[in-house]
């Protein structure tokens, strides 16, 4: 099955689930709520961003921590936004062309929680239209889908399914499953199916299957397509009421079509997760990765999440995630870092050692005004420590830096305006050689924007 067919099938199944759910919901009987002291299992060795960000304003949109709790009932919300501004490097190349742009979007959010079933959907569609048409480029599509489903089959057994997909041309600098330069439109999709079984009140087994896919529309970029299935087994032990320790094994098949060949990466990881309160959690996972071809490298992942309820009618409140302008007026921080072996973004290369950190911060200054900051930094080395990279002429490094400060003002509980700035710097490292294709494609971009959002 090809990547487009797979993504199309996943989308159809998701739509059918939602459609059937909207038609009629039958509440299933179940025991009374249990003590949920231990939080839902972590991403299980899936390093990456706390969230992705909108290309125009840096606010959360896809890949974020969205989870509808059991017993929450049903919520449906629709919002629309229009942003516009000036981009000094639309094509993301050295000495690129500038253009004014307009960015209309529509967001749909749906949440449901019953005693045995919980689901969370966040979908977005829009375009970025360029008035000066640099290089013949008229617009970029921006389509994303995030869907989470949890089902309690028995009091001890819970199934979880999550999918996060994006279609467009704008790079996502918070994850390895994205280009860092323009290569035309692409589809990226990350999917996980897991089964969690409580072996005892303190010991839980989590078995997971993962599938990551990346495919470009352009045949010139098809050499960087990827299809990566993975399997993991994790044991989690509730050591203290607020402390969980874990151990996990994971194997990933790296199907890179760019000439790097198929390889496998095996990981052994120990973890510690501490919950200081229902809104403040930290985690540390570390271990070792073994990649076919001789690479043996450490693995480290840290995470910090803190959330403070919003203020009044303009804030988040006590009920969880909201959509539209209200979501901007709460105080929260999400910060992750990881050091691991990732797939290279350079065609014909393999096994990039990468340090990556992502920060998303929002501060509610008043009931109506909030300030946000989205920041991502990564440094990757396509080293000489494996046979393929040595044969291709040595090492090459790449550093990316992405930052978006913004301010939002809520005119009413349903309508808000925003203004902000986005800066991107992508460059090859100082030890890059003449054979490094990244060396000649370093670029920077400055983007200024303002807009309005209305929630129906």
The CATH number covering residue 327 comes to 2.40.160.40
User: Using one digit for the tens of pLDDT, what is the confidence trace for 215-268?
Assistant: 999 888 777 788 899 999 999 999 999 999 999 999 998 876 555 567 889 999
Q: Identify whether the C-beta of residue 242 lies closer than 8 Å to the C-beta of residue 281.
A: no
Q: What is the pLDDT of residue 230?
A: 94
Lowest mean pLDDT among 35-44, 279-288, 334-343: 35-44
Task: Judge whether 119 lies within some domain.
Answer: yes
Q: What SS3 string covers the chain? A: CCHHHHHHHHHHHHHHHHHHHHHCCCCCCCCCCCCCCCCCCCCCCCCCCCCCECCCCCCECCCCCCCCCCCCEEEEEEEEEEEEEEECCCCCCCCCCCEEEEEEEEEEEEEEECCCEEEEEEEEEEEEEECCCHHHCCEEEEEEEEEEEEEECCCCEEEEEEEEEEEECCCCCCCCCCCCCCCCCEEEEEEEEEEEEECCCCEEEEEEEEEEEEEECCHHHHHHCEEEEEEEEEEEEEEECCEEEEEEEEEEEEEECCCCEEEEEEEEEEEEEEEEECCEEEEEEEEEEEECCCEEEEEEEEEEEEEECCCHHHCCCCCCCCCHHHHHCCEEEEEEEEEEEECCCCCCCCCEEEEEEEEEEEEECCCCEEEEEEEEEEEEEECCCCHHHHHCCCCEEEEEEEEEEEEEEECCCCEEEEEEEEEEEEEECCCCCCCCCCCCCCEEEEEEEEEEEEEC
Domain ranges, residue 447: 3-21+40-455
User: Using one digit for the tens of pLDDT, what is the confidence trace for 177-198?
Assistant: 888 888 889 999 999 999 999 9
Q: Identify whether the C-beta of residue 208 lies closer than 8 Å to the C-beta of residue 196.
A: no
Q: What is the pLDDT of residue 300?
A: 95
How far is CA 80 from each of CA 35, 95, 108, 197, rounded to the nearest angstrom?
Answer: 38, 34, 9, 40
Report how far Cα 287 is from the mean position of its chain's Cα atoms.
Answer: 22
Task: Judge whether 34 lies within some domain.
Answer: no
Q: Identify whether the C-beta of residue 157 lies closer than 8 Å to the C-beta of residue 131.
A: no
Task: Judge whether 391 lies within some domain.
Answer: yes
User: Using one digit for the tens of pLDDT, what is the confidence trace for 302-347?
Assistant: 999 998 865 555 543 333 344 444 455 678 899 999 999 887 766 5
Task: Judge whether 32 lies within some domain.
Answer: no
Structure-token pair, residue 204: 């839980």
Give the mean pLDDT of the chain.
Answer: 78
Task: Judge whether 35 lies within some domain.
Answer: no
Q: From the CA atom positions of the chain, what is the Rg in Å? A: 22
Higher pLDDT, 40 or 210: 210
pLDDT surpassing 80 at residue 53: no
Task: Judge whether 55 lies within some domain.
Answer: yes
User: Using one digit for the tens of pLDDT, what is the confidence trace for 401-410?
Assistant: 999 999 999 9
Higher pLDDT, 374 or 135: 374
Structure-token pair, residue 45: 């060795």
Q: Identify whether the C-beta of residue 267 lies closer than 8 Å to the C-beta of residue 45.
A: yes
Query: Among 392, 401, 399, which Cα is nearest to 436's?
Result: 392
- What is the distance between the alpha carbons of residues 41 and 236, in angstroms, rounded to a whole number? 8
**Total domain count, the chain:** 1
């Amino acid at each position: 099955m090809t990547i487009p067919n797979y993504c199309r099938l996943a989308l159809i199944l998701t739509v059918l689930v939602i459609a059937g759910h909207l038609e009629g919901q039958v509440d299933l009987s179940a025991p009374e709520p249990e003590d949920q002291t231990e939080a839902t299992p972590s991403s299980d060795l899936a390093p990456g961003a706390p969230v992705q960000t909108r290309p125009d304003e840096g606010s959360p949109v896809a890949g974020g921590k969205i989870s509808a709790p059991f017993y929450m009932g049903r919520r449906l919300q629709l919002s629309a936004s229009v942003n516009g501004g000036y981009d000094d490097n639309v094509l993301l190349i050295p000495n690129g062309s500038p253009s004014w742009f307009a960015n209309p979007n529509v967001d749909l959010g749906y949440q449901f929680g019953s005693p045995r079933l919980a689901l969370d959907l966040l979908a977005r569609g829009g375009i970025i239209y360029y008035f000066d048409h640099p290089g013949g480029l008229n617009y970029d599509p921006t389509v994303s889908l995030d869907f989470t489903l949890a089902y309690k089959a028995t009091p001890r057994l819970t199934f979880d399914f999550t999918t996060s997909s994006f279609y467009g041309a704008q790079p996502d600098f918070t994850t390895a499953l994205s280009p860092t330069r323009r290569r035309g439109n692409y589809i990226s999709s990350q999917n996980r199916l897991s089964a969690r079984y409580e072996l005892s009140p303190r010991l839980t087994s989590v078995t997971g299957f993962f599938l990551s896919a990346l495919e470009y529309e352009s045949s010139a970029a098809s050499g960087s397509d990827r299809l990566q299935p993975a399997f993991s087994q994790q044991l989690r032990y509730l050591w203290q009421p607020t402390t969980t320790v874990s151990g996990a094994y994971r194997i990933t098949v790296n199907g890179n079509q760019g000439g790097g060949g198929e390889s496998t990466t095996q990981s052994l990881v120990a973890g510690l997760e501490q919950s200081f309160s229902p809104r403040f959690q930290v985690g540390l996972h570390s271990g070792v990765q073994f990649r076919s071809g001789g690479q043996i490298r450490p693995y480290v992942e840290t995470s910090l999440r803190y959330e403070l309820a919003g203020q009044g009618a303009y804030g988040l409140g006590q009920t969880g995630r909201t959509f539209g302008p209200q979501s901007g007026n709460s105080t929260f921080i999400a910060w992750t870092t990881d050091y691991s072996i990732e797939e290279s973004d350079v065609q014909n290369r393999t096994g990039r050692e990468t340090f990556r950190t992502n920060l998303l911060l929002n501060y509610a200054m008043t009931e109506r005004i909030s300030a946000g900051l989205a920041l991502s930094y990564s440094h990757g080395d396509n080293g000489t420590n494996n046979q393929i990279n040595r044969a291709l002429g040595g090492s090459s490094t790449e550093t990316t830096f992405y930052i978006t400060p913004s301010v939002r003002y809520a005119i009413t509980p349903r309508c808000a305006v925003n203004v902000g700035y986005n800066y991107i710097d992508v460059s090859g490292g100082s030890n890059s050689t003449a054979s490094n294709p990244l060396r000649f494609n370093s670029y920077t971009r400055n983007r200024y924007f303002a807009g309005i959002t209305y929630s129906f």
